[in-house]
Amino acid sequence: MTTDRQMTLIAFLQAQNCTNFPASWRHPAAAADFMSPEYYQRIGRTLEEGKFHLAFFDDRLAIPDVYADDFKMTIREGIRAVKLDPMLCALTLANATERLGVGVTYSTTYYEPFHVARTFQTLDQLTKGRAAWNVVTSLNSSEAVNFGRDLVLEHDLRYDRAEEFLEIVRGHWRSWDDDALILDKQGMFADPERVRRLDHQGEWFKSRGPFTVPRSAQGEPILIQAGQSGRGRSFAAKWGDLVFVIYPNLKVGQKSYAEFKDVLEATGRGRDSVKIAPAIYTVVGETQTQAEDRRAVIDNLVKPIDGLVLLSEVLNFDFAKKGYDEAFTTEEMDGISGIQAFRDRVVALSGRANPTPRDFVEFTRRGTLDEFPVFMGSPKQIADQMEEWFGTACDGFVLAASHAPGAYDDFVRLVVPELRRRGLFRKDFEGATLRENLGLQRPPVGG
């Protein structure tokens, strides 16, 4: 098969002791130098060799300590126990590459809009137009207390705050004209008529300006969003350039993909204005048997405590308080303040309005490779699975790693050539900026 339409490939990175798969640090081939610049540089060079569009760093502002209201299990078992600043890791990776996009997760809950606007526009300048911001709202009590708060904002209020936050950030980014800089050493440095104050006064924030960082090569950073249901989906449809999703299977993915494209069309943005990419794992071998052997090694790394600790974190509910087969009360379900898409998925897949901790473990598979769809087999078999999803359930994929850097090395060496042979993935970068490589238009100034 050959096609003019090609998939977007994104690497899902962590600035921590493990990948998104918490047991990855136990893998015999996992690199242990995750606090060194060389670790991120190696990964970046591999991804650039494979012509990936983007590497983006996930983040949370606390280590997982909701389970049993303690951090000792997290530290002992290495369950995302070390979290470096992803912005610095992203810049380190970017400095070892030339075309690969770099994205960073930053919360709208505990930072100020001007700070975030300046940080990301600076990253965009220093990477010559390759930056992206993964916009999130912080969701658990551990993060709240790290920033001097006693309570987590209620779900919809977090999005209300985030809406205004984005208006300010984007307003600052667009307050410089593209041609504002003159750099005439005998005359003007910049034209003051081409720079504006924002003068924002809203319900949550005030921010005056003028902004301190001129427009970048791509205008402004790409916005990544992960909203999948309710308020989150409408937020993603309004703001996102790239939407990161989690689908349990192809059928659900096809339905959600079509629904989100309909939402985009209804908002007037256009069905092709936003890239939609689900998270997946790949386990590739030269043969199916070799891939199965590699998968067995990975599965043997998992401990049950990994999932319970991470479920407690993401749902902001202490799973140690419940018996494994004790149903959640309606009040407890309504009180979950974390990622509600997780809760909704368990209700839908279990068919129970009041599921048990066992249901949450079984239907989210949190802490295991099966949390995301796993494409396993030879390069041809994995390409077959990606081809089946592409175009009907997604515009590309976010590749999480069973271990690093080996999982990315294997994918670039074995799977990328097969995708190219089928005409499903590019042979080179289309341009110098992330926006050019994603096929997205340069945003306007003003307004």
Strands (E), 21-83: 54-58
pLDDT at 189 over 60: yes
150-163 pLDDT, tens digit each: 888 877 888 899 99
**Burial class of 96 by CB neighbour count within 10 A (0 to 12, 13 to 18, 19+):** middle
- 186 Cβ contact list (under 8 Å, min separation 6): none
| Predicted pLDDT at 226 | 87
* Top-confidence residue, 198 or 141: 198
- Three-state secondary structure call for residue 83: strand
| CA 346 distance to own-chain centroid | 21
| Predicted pLDDT at 1 | 42
pLDDT at 447 over 90: no
282-334 pLDDT, tens digit each: 999 999 999 999 999 999 999 989 999 999 988 889 999 999 899 999 998 98
| Predicted pLDDT at 299 | 96
pLDDT at 2 over 50: no
| Predicted pLDDT at 338 | 63
Number of Cβ atoms within 10 Å of the Cβ of 399: 26
Strands 206-207 and 200-201: antiparallel
Instruction: Give 229's pLDDT tier (boundaries 50, 70, 90).
Output: low
Scan for tokens 């962590």, then name that residue: 14
Number of H helices, E strands in the chain: 17, 11
Taking residues 134-139, what's their average pLDDT?
A: 90
| Predicted pLDDT at 158 | 87
pLDDT at 275 over 90: yes
**What span, in angstroms and rounded, lies between the C-alpha atoms of 338 and 266?**
28
Q: Are 18 and 435 in contact (CB under 8 A)?
A: no
pLDDT at 337 over 80: no
**What span, in angstroms and rounded, lies between the C-alpha atoms of 176 and 219?**
10
Angle at which helix 230-239 crosses helix 250-267, to 10 degrees, equals 60
Answer positive or negative: Cα dihedral of 231, 235, 236, 238: positive
Q: Are 55 and 44 in contact (CB under 8 A)?
A: yes
The pLDDT > 70 percentage for the chain reads: 98
Half-sphere exposure of 216 (CA within 13 A, CB side): 30
- Three-state secondary structure call for residue 310: helix
Of 157, 155, 137, 127, the C-alpha closest to 222 is 127
27-85 pLDDT, tens digit each: 999 999 999 999 999 999 999 999 999 999 999 999 999 999 999 999 999 999 999 99
pLDDT at 206 over 50: yes
Ranges of H-type helices in 174-222 = none
Q: Which two tokens stand for residue 193?
A: 């008529």
**What span, in angstroms and rounded, lies between the C-alpha atoms of 53 and 303?**
33
Angle at which helix 37-49 crosses helix 86-94, to 10 degrees, equals 50
Of 304, 279, 260, 258, the C-alpha closest to 400 is 279
Of 132, 126, 134, 53, the C-alpha closest to 94 is 126
Of 170, 174, 155, the C-alpha closest to 341 is 155
